[in-house]
Amino acid sequence: MFNGISGGGAEDLAQLQSTMRAIELACSYIQINTNPAAAEATILSLHQSPQPYKACRFILENSQVAAARFQAAAAIKEAAIREWSFLSTEDKGGLISFCLGYVIQHANSADAYVFSKVSSVAAQLMKRGWLEFTPAEKEVFFYQINQAILGSRGLDVQFIGIHFLESLVSEFSPSTSSAMSLPREFHEDCRKSLEQNYLKTFYSWAQDAALSVTNKIVESNSDVPEVKVCNAALRLMHQILNWEFRYSKGGTKGSINVFSDGIRSDTASSRKTEAVIVQPGASWCDVLVSSSHVGWLINLYSSLRQKFALEGYWLDCPVAVSARKLIVQLCSLAGEVFPSNNEQMREQHLLVLLSVVLPWIDPPDVISKEIEEGRSGSEMIDGCRALLSIATVTTPVDFDRLLRSIRPFGTLTLLSLLMGEVVKVLLANSNDKETWSYEARDILLDTWTTLLASMDGSGGNAWLPPEGMHAAASLFSLIAESELKLASASATTDEDDADCLASVSAMDERLGSYALIARAAVDATIPFLTKLFSDRVARLHQGRGTVDPTETLEEVYSLLLIIGHVLADEGEGETALVPDALQSHFVDVVEAGNHPVVLLSSSIVKFAEQCLDANMRSSIFSPRLMEAVIWFLARWSFTYLMLVEDRNLGSNQLQSLPSRACLFTFFNEHNQGKFVLDIIVRISLTSLMSYPGEKDLQELTCHQLLHALVRRRNICFHLLSLDSWRNLANAFANDKSLFLLNGVSQRSLAQTLVLSAYGMRSSDASNQYVKDLMAHMTSSLVDLANNSELKNLAQQPDIIMLVSCVLERLRGAASATEPRTQRAIYEMGLSVMNPVLRLLEVYKHESAVIYLLLKFVVDWVDGQISYLEAHETAGVVNFCMSLLQIYSSHNIGKISLSLSSTLLNEAKTEKYKDLRALLQLLSHLCSKDMVDFSSDSIETQSTNISQVVFFGLHIITPLITLELLKYPKLCFDYFSLISHMLEVYPETLAQLNSDAFNHVLTTVDFGLHQQDVDIVTMCLRALKALASYHYKETKAGNTGLGSHASGHTDPNGVFHEGILSRFLRTLLQFLLFEDYSTDLVSTAADALFPLILCEPNLYQGLGNELIEKQGNPNFKTRLANALQVLTTSNQLSSSLDRLNYQRFRKNLNNFLIEVRGFLKTK
């Protein structure tokens, strides 16, 4: 419809005008929402037309409708990217030159979004041809841009030139680049070339542009046009410094460790504010460090700041914001840009920047007051960001020393004073969440975290100077007092607010930073915390029965959270160690009972023990306070209780400290450890029995506290000797009140009790312990299933609750399977096999119970399958097949398509979780062939797992319709299993009957057309496995996929091609004509290669069809050559080995780049 390219012959002027009017009309219809479908179709036809460049140029140059010009620019981009491979060099350069000339010519246009789009198109096209253009050709473009940036053609053109470089840099940056259907290597090569050869030049051009207008801006008393150019230049410089520099001049990826030895890799894991470290390399020294660039920037901002000191709005004007951003960015300059033998240059650079930042933040109280009176807080916040940037590239000692050369105190003291002022403002404005102080607090906490996290695991605070320790202690004292005031105030408010500690984890992230500050000065902070806690506990006792304790209870709650973070790190997923700072201090302590950490810990344990008294429980220990108690005991016990010495050696210099020995021995098994362990177990039982309905408290007890105890093997030995633990196990088995726990707690408690069996002295004893523990559960399920009145009883609410509870407990026990207790848990599952099948039939309409039944079986099979002998495996497999058949016979989970319209969100997909559980069950059965600890030899294995799993799939796949596969979770689980089965057991698939085989492959075809890259990847891997299996088998003289691979004629005389032929067509269609992620090309190549080898005649025929469809003789020739090269270049052979796969991937990439553009052109 909209054909024409420059130089391709004259086009009738009337046709061009008609095209322009059609696009203008379509744009106006879209704006007023009149017949939008037709309007969009008109615009789409322009975008998809072959070579629409002349029409687009005509629209850009003549249309008075901005939206039409925008669409014309977009169409140029789409067509050029699509047709790039067959455009001539002159056409490619001409398109870029036209776009650049257009934005320069229309530099003063009021439609900024149009010229921004055209500029972006020029940048995208320049990147597309970047690796093709010679340096001389690039120089032609950049000469035009440089001339614009020099300002000789006016401020508007100067701004346009800078704006184009912004677009170009953005296009070359991986995070903001446009998709071009090209391999990742192309983008990386472009990035490397720009970084090494042009980025520094662009920075210098921007700097020169800003310099050219600086005097005019400084001398003017009002806003002048030059400000726009200066702001754009500053913005471009900031964008370039924000670049992720990877390459040095030599072409190797460069990196630098900006911290001292001992830095932890997770220092920024909890940070809310990221400071980007700028590491451009040694070649940038002359531009960023040696020159007067920093001085010019500082003078510009300082001059304007002084000039407009009385104009409060100026701090938020664009040029001020851009200048501050650039200053902050320069604060994080690091690496080889500073000569390695010139540390003084780096320190002087940071000191100069710190000097200009100081007036933004110091004195903190004065600036804070001005902000509260109406001044903008943006400068203060940027000052905080600057401190964070400096902290990111310095050690704590270097950071502190910077300020000492110009002030009587160090930078750490300033940081402490600044943070203290922010905390005071927060306390005064605790109800206003939109104040500047919240953002400032987060940034300053990240600064402390950056400085202190590097020392927290490397021998205490040996690097922190005494004044810095004093500053940290003072700041922590202020923070703690403020948090207690907030906690006290929250007792009288009704707001459900996270900052008012609505849950145990509400303050977790912030408290982690507070803990680092406290550990930087433990000599002061630990005794301080002990006094705070003791004072609050004493206040509770003194006012008991006469004074409302709510405010004090909130303070104790807050203190428990703070102390828990200071004394211990989170142990989730790793071994918890006593923080080095707590091990390395208190060197004068010689008696364990006098160690400050021991005193603080003991006072909290003693306080927690009081909850065992019913009167104290009713008057003091509310469910909310108990949550904090349980949380603290879980965190503390995993770090300090019955420590294993070699687990906490810490730094070498700590091992011989007497104070460390005091800390480690006080709570060990030979001292107070067993006594404290007993208290903790009794507290746990109390929280479960005495606080009915408190879900959060019970989950904390089961999942965190009790689970923390059994994670340590040495503690398990002592647990089983305690009467309190036996009481807990007895209550679990017999006390009806524990049956009221929710499902998660039931499961977690059962898992914990079974895991504790490790503490038995022998495997037989461990198994007997588990049998005794679970006997009541299994017998109740067996008795119920055997009850003749089961059908009538089953629907009673109390019976449903009982069954659900027992199944959760069985599932928890199954998930605790270990070699030591495997036999008992196997027998537990074996004893309830028939009851499970019986209940599956009875509860066929109770989806919640069905799901619990299935999940128990899934977890039990997962834990057992790799240990089972051949005859046991056969029994389990038969049980699983019976379960699948019963499930299928009742159509459980099968939803009528007439209802699917109501299942359009994630909540509704949970109705299919039982189907997902069944897929997981089949996946666990697969693992038997991968991991097998049984004593049987492979020859004695009587069960063919692959046949069993395919049979299981045959049973349940009719329930999994294509409609249901549109739901992500079910889809992923299904294709994970299908992909695994086809990759590992293609020979078993070949043995399936035609219907079962076709059903599996139909879903694979469906998966190929999903948008989820992971799903498509799994289907491509499955195709690769099938095709390579068939090719290798037939080459060896076997049948391979047999009749499934060969075509056949049905009774109606219709020919049906074989499955491999079908997928060869599908995959070629997919690669040549459909939209997909370039990440899929390599995986698709691995599938296409064996398909071509299996069906060479069809490949040749399909290629000939494509060639004949091309009306352009040039395209015919190029396509024929490309198809030939695809299967012959790079010494490609017919062997399916790794080297040939690699060669074919490269061939396919080149093939798609060569032909996909003109094949997709309509």
10-residue mean pLDDT profile of the chain (1162 residues): values are: 45 86 92 86 91 93 94 94 89 93 86 91 95 92 92 90 95 88 87 94 95 89 86 95 76 36 38 76 90 89 83 82 95 90 87 95 93 90 96 92 91 96 89 81 93 64 79 96 90 55 58 93 95 94 82 94 93 75 81 88 96 92 94 93 63 57 80 92 96 93 93 89 95 90 94 93 93 94 91 90 95 93 95 94 88 94 90 90 87 49 46 80 81 58 75 80 77 89 86 81 87 92 93 90 76 77 93 88 94 93 91 87 91 92 93 84 60
Residue 1084, burial from CB neighbour count under 10 angstroms (0-12, 13-18, 19+): buried
Distances (CA, A) of 370 to 29, 365, 375, 385, 927: 52, 9, 6, 19, 67
Reading the block at residue 253, the tokens are 């990826």
- Grouping H, G, I as helix, E, B as strand and the rest as coil, residue 497 is coil
Q: What was the pLDDT predicted at 456?
A: 56
Closest by CA position to 639, among listed 700, 578, 584, 680: 578
Question: Which contacts of 935-943 are long-range, i.e. CB under 8 A and separated by 24 or more positions?
Answer: 935/869, 936/869, 936/870, 940/870, 941/870, 941/873, 942/870, 942/871, 942/873, 942/874, 943/870, 943/873, 943/874, 943/877
Backbone angles phi, psi at 333, to 5 degrees: -70, 130
Cα–Cα–Cα angle for 58, 59, 64, rounded to 5 degrees: 130
- Grouping H, G, I as helix, E, B as strand and the rest as coil, residue 1049 is strand
Q: What was the pLDDT predicted at 250?
A: 40
Pairing of strands 1048-1049, 1055-1056: antiparallel
Contact 776, 733 (CB under 8 A): yes
- Dist. CA 856–CA 843, nearest whole Å: 15
Q: What was the pLDDT predicted at 271?
A: 55
Contact 834, 793 (CB under 8 A): no
Location of structure tokens 């219907």: 995
Contact 182, 84 (CB under 8 A): no
- Dist. CA 677–CA 718, nearest whole Å: 8
Bridge partners of 127, per DSSP, are: none
- Dist. CA 164–CA 206, nearest whole Å: 11
Angle between helix 343-361 and 364-372 (nearest 10): 40
Bridge partners of 596, per DSSP, are: none
- Dist. CA 436–CA 598, nearest whole Å: 40
Closest by CA position to 148, among listed 137, 139, 138, 159: 159
**Helix segments in 457-549, DSSP class H:** 466-490, 508-519, 522-542
Distances (CA, A) of 423 to 437, 482, 664, 898: 8, 7, 36, 59
Residue 701, burial from CB neighbour count under 10 angstroms (0-12, 13-18, 19+): buried
b/e burial code for range 468-484 (CB count within 10 A of at least 16 → b): bbbbbbbbbbbbbebbb
Location of structure tokens 């379509």: 26
End-to-end CA distance of the chain: 10
Closest by CA position to 956, among listed 902, 1010, 920: 920
Q: What is the DSSP letter of 247?
A: B
Contact 248, 336 (CB under 8 A): yes
Contact 718, 670 (CB under 8 A): no
Give the HSE-up count for residue 977: Cα atoms under 13 Å, Cβ half-sphere: 28
Q: What was the pLDDT predicted at 501?
A: 41
Reading the block at residue 714, the tokens are 């040495």
Residue 723, burial from CB neighbour count under 10 angstroms (0-12, 13-18, 19+): exposed
SS3 readout for 255-290 = CCCCCCCCCCCCCCCCCCCCCCCECCCHHHHHHHHH
The CA-based dihedral angle spanning residues 685, 690, 691, 696, taken in that order and rounded to the nearest 10 degrees: 0
Cα–Cα–Cα angle for 793, 794, 797, rounded to 5 degrees: 90
Q: What was the pLDDT predicted at 932?
A: 65
Closest by CA position to 421, among listed 435, 404, 402, 400: 435
Q: What was the pLDDT predicted at 648?
A: 47
The amino acid occupying position 643 is L
Contact 738, 732 (CB under 8 A): yes
Cα–Cα–Cα angle for 91, 93, 96, rounded to 5 degrees: 110
Radius of gyration over alpha carbons of the chain, in Å?
36
- Grouping H, G, I as helix, E, B as strand and the rest as coil, residue 795 is coil
Distances (CA, A) of 127 to 178, 415, 533: 10, 45, 64
- Dist. CA 886–CA 880, nearest whole Å: 10
- Dist. CA 561–CA 508, nearest whole Å: 8
Bridge partners of 1055, per DSSP, are: 1049
Closest by CA position to 431, among listed 478, 489, 511, 371: 489
SS3 readout for 50-74 = CCCHHHHHHHHHHCCCHHHHHHHHH
- Dist. CA 516–CA 527, nearest whole Å: 16
- Dist. CA 131–CA 133, nearest whole Å: 6
Backbone angles phi, psi at 615, to 5 degrees: -65, -45
Cα–Cα–Cα angle for 751, 753, 755, rounded to 5 degrees: 65
Contact 1120, 1128 (CB under 8 A): no
Q: What was the pLDDT predicted at 1162?
A: 53
Closest by CA position to 988, among listed 926, 945, 1043, 939: 945
- Dist. CA 1134–CA 1138, nearest whole Å: 12
Q: What was the pLDDT predicted at 249?
A: 45
Q: What was the pLDDT predicted at 563?
A: 96
Location of structure tokens 């199944």: 807
* 1026 backbone φψ class: left, alpha, beta (φ>0; ψ -120 to 50): alpha
806 CB neighbour count, 10 Å cutoff = 25
- Grouping H, G, I as helix, E, B as strand and the rest as coil, residue 1037 is coil
Q: What is the DSSP letter of 179?
A: P
Contact 145, 100 (CB under 8 A): yes
Torsion sign across C-alpha atoms 842, 847, 849, 851: positive
* 9 backbone φψ class: left, alpha, beta (φ>0; ψ -120 to 50): left
- Grouping H, G, I as helix, E, B as strand and the rest as coil, residue 735 is coil
Q: What was the pLDDT predicted at 435?
A: 80
